[in-house]
Amino acid sequence: MVNKVTVIGSGNWGSVVARIVGVNCAEKASQFERQVNMWVFEENIKVDDTEYKLTEYINTHHENVKYLPGFKLPDNVGFEVTEKELVIISDVVRDTLGITCGALMGANLANEIALGQFAEATIATTVEWQGRAFQQLFNRPSFRCAYVSDVTAVEVCGALKNVVAVGAGFVDALGMGNNTKCAIIRLGLMEMMAFAEEFYGCTNRNVFFESCGIADLITTCYGGRHTRLGKLFVETGKSFEELEKEHLNGQKLQGHQTAEKVYKMLFAKGETAVKKYPLFVAIYKVSTKEIAAQDLFQCLADHPEHM
Q: Tell me the residue range of the domain where 43 lies.
A: 1-79
CA gyration radius, the chain: 20
The DSSP string of 36-64 is EEEE----EEEETTEEEEHHHHHHHH-B-
Residue 5 burial (CB count, 10 A): 21
Do the Cβ atoms of 227 and 168 come closer than 8 Å? yes
DSSP 8-state class, residue 2: P
Which pLDDT score, from 0 to 100, does residue 75 have?
A: 66
Does residue 29 sit within a domain?
Answer: yes
- Under the banding of pLDDT at 50, 70 and 90, the label for residue 136 is very high
By CB atoms closer than 10 A (0-12, 13-18, 19+), residue 169 is buried
| pLDDT, mean of residues 277-297 | 95
Which pLDDT score, from 0 to 100, does residue 80 have?
A: 43
Annotated catalytic residue, options 66, 161, 181, 261: 161
Which pLDDT score, from 0 to 100, does residue 195 have?
A: 96
Q: Is the pLDDT of residue 35 over 50?
A: yes
pTM recorded for the entire structure = 0.81
Give the tens place of pLDDT for each residue, 98-131. Answer: 988 899 999 988 889 989 999 999 999 999 999 9
Residue 226 burial (CB count, 10 A): 24
Give the tens place of pLDDT for each residue, 39-92. Answer: 777 778 778 878 877 777 777 777 776 667 776 666 665 744 344 567 788 888
Give the tens place of pLDDT for each residue, 200-237. Answer: 999 999 999 999 999 999 999 998 999 999 999 999 99
**Residue 161 falls in the annotated catalytic set:** yes
How many structural domains comprise the chain?
2
Q: Are residues 171 and 290 in the same domain?
A: yes
Does residue 85 sit within a domain?
Answer: no
Q: Are residues 287 and 171 in the same domain?
A: yes
